[in-house]
Amino acid sequence: MSTIRIAAGSPEDDRGSSLPDDDDANAQSDALFVSWIGRGVHFSLAQALLVPAALPWSWSTMLFMVPASTTDAAESFTQPAAQLVGVLLATLGVAMMASGIRDIGSNFSFFPEPKPAEEHSLSTVGIMGVVRHPQYAGTLAFCWGVALVTGASPTRMLACMATTIALWLNADLDEDRLIKERYGRAADEYLERVPSMVPRDACALIRAMLRLS
């Protein structure tokens, strides 16, 4: 039960409605948690399930402990050209994820709910000025790259497609909405200027990852 403050020098019936600071902080924390549950947890769970499925180990490896060599034996052979593209994509994906964590800095979080306004700022520098969601873009590039390198089975290709859809929906429908709610007009300008996950300028992406600009 919350403690109610009584204003000094007033009758006992004239009670203040403010809560103690600790209760205010707890209430705000609970509200943020409930908000996160209502907005992004379903996408986060989808990502946690789909990303491993898109990588060389399969559902049967994870769920039934079947050796990876057995489950991957039926996967198709990949042509050298596709393997080269896959290596480039996977490398790009790792670089984008690392650059995103570096440039977001203390604002980085695995959860879609941003920190309180006084602890958080809209990140627009570095790779965040080229794509809004470098972690998601990097994850997708890595998953598709590994699929090309290893010769993914139809099941894993479907997992890659499902992962792409889940991450894109989470970025555009959930996290971008949180950005707009938190930062208003500044967010509108940022969302219009910077693409979600596919950069408009490949050279700008490379410069941002290498910190050349």
- What does the DSSP 8-state code read for residue 126? G
Specify the pLDDT at position 51.
72
Within a domain: 3: no
Q: 135-186 pLDDT, tens per residue?
A: 999 999 998 998 888 877 787 788 889 889 988 988 888 889 888 888 889 8
Within a domain: 1: no
With 50 as the cut, is the pLDDT of residue 201 above it? yes
Q: Are 202 and 141 in contact (CB under 8 A)?
A: no
Who wins on pLDDT, 29 or 161? 161
Within a domain: 123: yes
Q: 90-129 pLDDT, tens per residue?
A: 999 999 999 998 988 766 666 555 555 555 578 888 999 9
List all residues 6 or more positions away from 63 whose beta carbon is below 8 Å from its beta carbon. none
* Host H or E run for residue 153: none
Who wins on pLDDT, 203 or 63? 203
Residue-number span of the structural domain to which 49 is assigned: 40-210
What's the CATH code of the domain at 178?
1.20.120.1630
Residue 6 sits at φ, ψ, to 5 deg, of: -110, 125
User: Which residue, chain included where needed, has tokens 């789909």?
Assistant: 50
- What does the DSSP 8-state code read for residue 76? P
**What's the count of helices (H) and strands (E) in the chain, helices before strands?**
10, 0
SS3 call for 6: strand
Specify the pLDDT at position 84.
92
pTM over 0.75: no
- The domain total for the chain is 1
Within a domain: 18: no
User: Which residue, chain included where needed, has tokens 């009670």?
Assistant: 15
Within a domain: 19: no
Within a domain: 13: no
Specify the pLDDT at position 70.
44
Q: In 10 A of CB 130, how many CB atoms?
A: 25
- What does the DSSP 8-state code read for residue 171? I
Within a domain: 97: yes
Within a domain: 82: yes
